[in-house]
Amino acid sequence: MNELAGKNILVGVTGGIAAYKVVEVVSRFKKMGAEVRVVMTRAAAEFVAPRTFQEITKNPVSVEMFAGTVNFHVEHIALANFADVVLIAPATANFLAKAAHGIADDLLTTIVLATTAPMIVAPSMNTKMLEHPATQANLKILEGRGVKIIDAEIGRLACGTSGKGRLSEPENICAEIVKFFAPKILIGKKILVTAGGTIEPIDPVRFICNRSTGKMGYEIARAAKNAGAEVILISGNATAEPPSDIKFVKVETALEMREAVLAEYENVDAVIMSAAVSDYRVKNVASQKIKKSNETLTLELVKNPDILKELGERKNNQLLVGFAAETENVIEYARGKIDEKNLDFIVANDVSQEGAGFGVDTNIVSLIDRAGDIENLPLMTKAELAEKIIQRIAELI
Ligand code: CTP
């Protein structure tokens, strides 16, 4: 949970009703170890009391340019220099206009002009204001200057209408900041990740599936993307939210997953096979819904191809990472899979432990390499584990 340790984040809050959501954003930054300074516009201070941010950040919150000090000129420069990144959330139409045109008529806009730190803005406003050509042009100007825009979402707005203009959720805003700070250790690399569980049909309405939510693989794809890689995510059944800015391929069966993986295999630098591939499929899939006419029903299953094993056999220079979900003899079975599937390392997972495996946000795993060296990792979030796996891959390629 210390993804932001040692990072200085300047949060600029402008006057929108969504300012209250930024309390949660700032709180998350603090939990992730960041040093946070908040600057509010006067209008923002109408929506949330500066004291709220002050208590959370344990730092003074600045609103006024000339706030009773003879050294006023120092403050905006000090804050401008403090920032490793400047986040503006919520960003009003008025703020975007001023930032786009270099107007500095209050403390926040003066800091924005005085800082050389990269800026990330999360707009939030009424749909018509957002869609107005002036606002759209201002967003383009900012984007052209390298400012990252966290798109507003569609939903119900405070003004009573529905449409685009809701502030992006605190979770997304935080993810963007974590992404911004992630070391770009995989730039120029192409990474293929599989995730989720395959679906093996029985008849037109029924199927065999497993408990995979796709969370682990989706986090790996996200971490690879954050590290600067080009990412292809091939996913079976999953409930997790896929990361943006990647190639996302949805498949159902193990056979479809095999085909999708092989189509990309030649051109990638690494494959992380975190999908829960069904080992068997139904031999004769019924073309019509099976009726409950008999007391018992026997399904004949045939073995699915082992995708990872096939990749191991066809390996050129690709780095191959497998997962081993076990309930006993974890290390021994995982080691066997390294040899059998020609892997570079394996993430061995005792799914019988509390806090590990399917449907939870955490995992407890061991990383085992070809030489048999074992790194036992403590309980950590899947996002943290994903970063560890990506670090390991970066070291190896
Ligand atoms: N895997 C695969 N194709 C399959 C089955 C598994 O590519 N048909 C991959 C998984 O994505 C995982 C690794 O192989 O990375 C290990 O999967 P696991 O099910 O733990 O092992 P199996 O090899 O299937 O062996 P067993 O089920 O007997 O433990």
Kindly give the confidence (pLDDT) of every residue in the chain, 397 residues in length, as a single tens digit, with 9 standing for 90 and above: 688 999 999 999 999 999 999 999 999 999 999 999 999 999 999 999 999 999 999 999 999 887 755 445 577 888 999 999 999 999 999 999 999 999 999 999 999 999 999 999 999 999 999 999 999 999 999 998 899 999 999 988 887 888 999 999 999 999 999 989 988 999 999 999 999 999 999 999 999 999 999 999 999 999 999 999 999 999 999 998 888 889 999 999 999 999 999 999 999 999 999 999 999 999 999 999 999 999 999 999 999 999 999 999 999 999 999 999 888 999 999 999 999 999 999 999 888 888 777 778 888 999 999 999 999 999 998 988 999 999 999 999 9
pLDDT value of residue 68: 59
- Assess whether 159 carries a catalytic annotation: yes
pLDDT value of residue 69: 55
Distance 298 CA to ligand 1 centre (A): 25
- According to DSSP, residue 5 is labeled T
Beta bridge partners, 121, equal 88, 149
Nearest-CA residue for atom 9 of ligand 1: 308
Distance 324 CA to ligand 1 centre (A): 7
Candidate of 271, 308, 310, 335 to mutate for ligand 1, largest count of ligand atoms within 8 Å of Cβ: 308
pLDDT value of residue 23: 98
Q: Which of 141, 159, 286, 331 is catalytic?
A: 159
pLDDT value of residue 77: 87
Which residue, among 241, 233, 283, has the nearest Cα to 257 in the 3D structure? Answer: 233
State pTM to two decimals.
0.81
357 CB less than 6 Å from ligand 1? no
Return the ∠ at Cα 227 (arms to 223 and 229), rounded to 5°. 95
279 CB less than 6 Å from ligand 1? yes
**Structure-block tokens of residue 41:** 């516009």
pLDDT value of residue 88: 98
Distance 262 CA to ligand 1 centre (A): 16
Q: Are 80 and 111 in contact (CB under 8 A)?
A: yes
* Burial class (CB within 10 angstroms; exposed 0-12, middle 13-18, buried 19+) of 292: exposed
pLDDT value of residue 309: 98
Candidate of 271, 274, 277, 349 to mutate for ligand 1, largest count of ligand atoms within 8 Å of Cβ: 277
Q: Are 261 and 311 in contact (CB under 8 A)?
A: yes
pLDDT value of residue 162: 86
Return the ∠ at Cα 114 (arms to 75 and 21), rounded to 5°. 75
pLDDT value of residue 20: 97
Distance 384 CA to ligand 1 centre (A): 23
pLDDT value of residue 360: 80
